[in-house]
Amino acid sequence: MIERNIVLTGFMGTGKTVTGRMLASVLNVDFIDTDAVIVERENMAVARIFQVKGEAYFRDVESVVIEEVSRRKGCVISTGGGAVIMEKNLLALKKNGIVICLTADPAIILLRTSSSKDRPLLLKSKDAIATIRHILKERRPYYLKADHTIDTSAHSTEDTVKAIMGIIKEDKDYAGDKDKA
């Protein structure tokens, strides 16, 4: 059993949701995907929210959801790729959790997101790889604030889950749960 949350952040297509779901299953704890909570609450897809209500509205709802889910304990939480841009979101997530940033090569991200119809920041782009590189560069300072970082470019989901299990067993802030993990 884990006491603190394990929070996955990182760019689109780095594997946050699939990894979070498998990790939660391995640890036998709840899995929360903040995008899924937003979609359910707004009753529309992410891309539709961006289109109809705008990105600023999406970010406001995202912050409310993050504040709520951050109060839980012992869960695996997967956040949207832009969540950590707002410092208050990262502070809330760190209050009860260990934040792990998943990264991947831009070409791998492009491959993994190319069929997605629900990523508005990439949908309209005429040069997706350039957009990916640009946003990654802009967000690098925020992603670097994570407690740990894992490059999933050459990882299966199982590999990434194993790497996270290793981190939480060794993490000094997590040690208190070592016997329980």
Q: Measure the CA–CA gap between 75 and 21, rounded to whole angstroms.
A: 11
Which one among 80, 93, 155, 161 touches ligand S3P, defined by CB under 6 A? 80
- Minimal distance in Å, beta carbon 16 to ligand S3P? 6
Rg of the chain in Å (alpha carbons)? 16
Looking at 95-103, 113-121, 155-163, 166-174, which segment touches ligand S3P (CB under 6 A)?
113-121
Contact status, residue 136 vs residue 53, Cβ threshold 8 Å = no
Query: Could you say whether residue 16 binds ligand S3P (CB under 6 A)?
Result: yes
Q: Which is nearer to ligand S3P, 17 or 63 (CB)?
A: 17
Query: Could you say whether residue 35 binds ligand S3P (CB under 6 A)?
Result: yes
Angle, CA of 114, 116 and 118, to the nearest 5°: 140
Determine how many CB atoms are found less than 10 A away from the CB of residue 117: 8
Looking at 68-76, 80-88, 153-161, 167-175, which segment touches ligand S3P (CB under 6 A)?
80-88
Angle, CA of 26, 148 and 116, to the nearest 5°: 70
Which one among 18, 120, 151, 167 touches ligand S3P, defined by CB under 6 A? 120
- Minimal distance in Å, beta carbon 142 to ligand S3P? 11
Query: Could you say whether residue 102 binds ligand S3P (CB under 6 A)?
Result: no
Q: Which is nearer to ligand S3P, 25 or 51 (CB)?
A: 51
- Minimal distance in Å, beta carbon 151 to ligand S3P? 16
- Minimal distance in Å, beta carbon 25 to ligand S3P? 19
Q: Which is nearer to ligand S3P, 29 or 61 (CB)?
A: 61
Task: Identify the bridge partners of residue 8 per DSSP, sorted by sequence position.
Answer: 78, 100
Q: How many residues are given for the chain?
A: 181
Q: Measure the CA–CA gap between 36 and 40, rounded to whole angstroms.
A: 6
Using alpha carbons, select from 132, 31, 22, 45 the residue that is nearest to residue 77: 31
Contact status, residue 160 vs residue 150, Cβ threshold 8 Å = yes
Which residues contribute to the site for ligand S3P (CB under 6 A)?
12, 16-17, 35, 46, 80-82, 119-121
